[in-house]
Copies of this chain bind each other. A is one copy, B any other.
């Protein structure tokens, strides 16, 4: 693992370099953090005299990337740049020296490295491949900075390359359809943070989303008309390739295949007819692995798809087949006996082998979810783990390459720091270096039970940028505070690329309320995260046809309020025994919550869709009142009356429970500290307030209920 070196020289004074690899002092906004980066004193002026040109190899793909950089910088600084993409850039301020094209279509393991040297007069970006240059151009963009004299590039020496070769995002477009422009802007997002795989979950029980000309009833009867034409697929694949992003299509089988059977019931193991599934979950429908016709069909279909998708991998899913249709079908049972297949897992292994051979015939490699990993599976199959690092490590020990996905399920709504700190090779990994090398990356997963074109971006970004850094940057880049600091400007950059994650919440709240005057709804939305998918499926009955227009669909995961509130409480408690720091800000929040009821009721009257949030509003009213009391006890250093602590903690526990609002108050751990501090205020020894604070925080941590579902 390479270490990051910072050399900070500020206006004449020379500071020793900070030994911490992620010191916030470095104050660069680059994300993911480069493998090796040195900062230098001075700046490279960025004004209308700044030019940009290529040296050596260039092609249309590289030129388009340079033009994208140009237009993004122009937009940022508000000045037209007379940038000229030339075949001889010697005179340019930024020279891009590319050695060769690399692969026309990006390939697993392709050289993505680059070096970047920005000096006070001139900058040079060097790369062996166009994809490497594209990665470096994203870094240049993030180095744009400014002071009172104007815009400039920060001076740096960077040697960069990714830690993992496979850095992806999966989007499920089956459970909810996403139009072409949504897919494209998310590919832009991937490129902006140097991710290189778009995994397209195209088929599932709830919809078949790709046009087959050979078997037109697949999309014709299995999609409600919501599918990508082959022309659109080609357009998206080219769009992604232009940005150095591979497109891996997934055709989930033998389970998760109801939508195939609407048009082709003969493929199924149970009797039809079949209809597009509107509900979510695991269904019985599975392909019949005992009929040769199934494999003839798959040969035809996968052969067609192999032509359409240029990537060397095709994902065949393989997950969550419950085996019920197989067990219930006497003919299939007979087949298993005849072929000595002990159980349905063995039958699925047989199916996998057959499918793999079909892929091989069409010159494709296979990737599948954990379940494909069965004895005798050839070693060129890549395993995507939804079961976690242990399953992934087991595969690696048996010689299989794998990518990690389980901690990266975006629909569980974990904060960015959770993704950030979840390493594909955890601290306690017992893999040998050779085995560890088989862990080739990871993928976040945007499962789409509750994704609409309106809110999908906010469920992916900016959290996905934290994962991008986890997968690209050195293992020891893991300073959460600095990650969040950089996430703000990175998020704004992603919005420039067309993503809607920063604007969707306000827009959706206007739709919820029917007005621009959001009032109490705004107060509520700002302090709430959405609960994860597991809680939601447990509590609410929803289908593919349920409108995704409630507040819980609008509010964003990892909302900044959690961190803001934690900082306020922290500063207040650090100010013991006076407790005046931030007290008024906290009190303002608490008063606003305490008095939220009437305003919310007025909104609910005009927008009954808000009715489910009543309970959570009542929680906020209670927490506001108790919070104000806590502040008074801290300020006066007079302990609250008997029972206050228990009553207040009961309010917190109540507010922590999922309810039909599906609004999660993710700052409650900090609030609990505040309550305990107030309850324990008389134990505070003025001589050692930090020790007291420590105790309070520990007590609060112990009180926290365990999460029912893992993130």
A148 in the interface (beta carbon within 8 A): yes
For residue A505, give the distance in angstroms from its CB to the closest CB of chain B: 10
Whether the pair B147, A605 counts as a contact (CB closer than 8 A) is yes
For residue A648, give the distance in angstroms from its CB to the closest CB of chain B: 32
Neighbouring B residues of A550 by C-beta, 8 Å? 78
A87 in the interface (beta carbon within 8 A): no
A91 in the interface (beta carbon within 8 A): no
B-contacting 9-mer, from A6-14, A312-320, A606-614: A606-614
Number of copies of this chain that the complex holds: 2
B-contacting 9-mer, from A260-268, A489-497, A589-597, A669-677: A489-497
Whether the pair B495, A507 counts as a contact (CB closer than 8 A) is yes
Which one of A74, A78, A146, A181 has the highest number of Cβ atoms from chain B below 10 Å of its Cβ? A78
A76 in the interface (beta carbon within 8 A): yes
Whether the pair A511, B495 counts as a contact (CB closer than 8 A) is yes
Whether the pair A489, B511 counts as a contact (CB closer than 8 A) is no
For residue A602, give the distance in angstroms from its CB to the closest CB of chain B: 10
A514 in the interface (beta carbon within 8 A): yes
Whether the pair B606, A146 counts as a contact (CB closer than 8 A) is yes
Question: Which residue of the partner chain B has the closest CB to A180?
Answer: B181
Whether the pair A77, B489 counts as a contact (CB closer than 8 A) is no
Whether the pair A503, B507 counts as a contact (CB closer than 8 A) is yes
For residue A526, give the distance in angstroms from its CB to the closest CB of chain B: 13
A511 to B496, CA, bound (A): 7
A702 in the interface (beta carbon within 8 A): no
A491 to B513, CA, bound (A): 12
Contact residues of A between 492 and 526, Cβ < 8 Å to B: 492, 495-496, 502-503, 506-507, 510-512, 514-517
Whether the pair B547, A151 counts as a contact (CB closer than 8 A) is no
A80 in the interface (beta carbon within 8 A): yes
The one of B78, B148, B547, B609 that contacts A609, using a Cβ cutoff of 8 Å? B78
Whether the pair A608, B549 counts as a contact (CB closer than 8 A) is no
Whether the pair A75, B547 counts as a contact (CB closer than 8 A) is yes
Q: A146-B608, A550-B78, A608-B150 are in contact. Are A516 and B502 (CB under 8 A)?
A: yes
Whether the pair A148, B605 counts as a contact (CB closer than 8 A) is yes
12 additional A-B pairs beyond A78-B550, A150-B608, A492-B514, beta carbons within 8 Å, are A74-B547, A76-B511, A78-B609, A80-B545, A80-B547, A146-B607, A148-B605, A488-B516, A489-B514, A491-B516, A502-B506, A506-B506
Q: List 15 A-B contacts (CB under 8 A).
A: A77-B608, A78-B549, A80-B545, A146-B605, A148-B608, A149-B608, A488-B515, A488-B516, A488-B517, A489-B515, A492-B514, A502-B516, A503-B503, A503-B506, A506-B506
